[in-house]
Amino acid sequence: MKIGLLSDIHANLAALDAVLRAADAAGVERLFCCGDFVGYYYQPEAVLNRLDAWSWVGVRGNHEDMLALWLSGERHAEITSRYGSGIRAASGMPASRLDALAGLPVHREVEIEGRRALLCHGTPWDTDEYVYPDTDPAIRDRMAAGGQDIVVFGHTHYPVHWQIAGCHVVNPGSVGQPRDRKPGACWAIWDTTSMTVELRREVYDCTALVADCQQRDPQLPYLADVLTRVA
């Protein structure tokens, strides 16, 4: 079975649509999602509707935790000044959507096709820990120490694929906001039969989203710039 590995969609519908088109063309049958469905950008409910057309499971990320803070009335000014109005947009979703996001686990183990997968956002032990491509090898080893066939994480928006003692440790990168100065929507395909992982990046038109950022959050030019910047 081919499994699509997604993370950090961040309410970027155009990017997700590009990934889902590619996933369908590649014969992907199921999606594993590693959190941060919301935040930064502005179409969270449409993103969740798209995912619901697929068989998917997921975990929550730090932006889902941030949404919970917002809904409790905490840190509105801080969140808006640092991250823009994406969380405010997410807070307007129906209660059923908000409850579903809040109810996602921080990590999830899935058994499929005789394989064991562990999904998390930062690390299995800390939703908000950043594991970059150049991280300490001891952290990589700890990520792979649970006996799973694959560990999938996100949070950094940098794609990586390590093979450690028979375990694939994969960050598929960010669907909605890549940070490695290579524009596009990042994701990966895990083939449970061949036990291979393919990192993917889909080209899409982000012109409308860039304009939306400039209109909604002009004080944060990063939100638009990060979508198109190159090395």
pLDDT tens per residue across span 162-191: 999 999 999 999 999 999 999 999 999 999
Confidence tier at 231 by pLDDT (50, 70, 90) = confident
pTM over 0.85? The answer is yes
Query: One-letter amino acid identity for 170?
Result: V
Q: Which residue's structure tokens are 């409850």?
A: 99
pLDDT at 35: 98
* Side-chain half-sphere CA neighbours of 135 within 13 A: 21
Residue range 60-101, pLDDT digits in tens? 999 999 999 999 999 999 999 999 999 999 999 999 999 999
Q: pLDDT tens, 123-159? A: 999 999 999 999 999 999 999 999 999 999 999 999 9
In angstroms, the Cα distances linking 44 to 63, 115, 116 are: 12, 31, 29
User: Collapsing DSSP states into helix, strand and coil, what is residue 2?
Assistant: strand
pLDDT band for position 217 (cuts 50, 70, 90):
very high
Q: Into which CATH architecture does domain 2-225 fall?
A: 4-Layer Sandwich (3.60)
Tokens describing residue 188: 């990966």
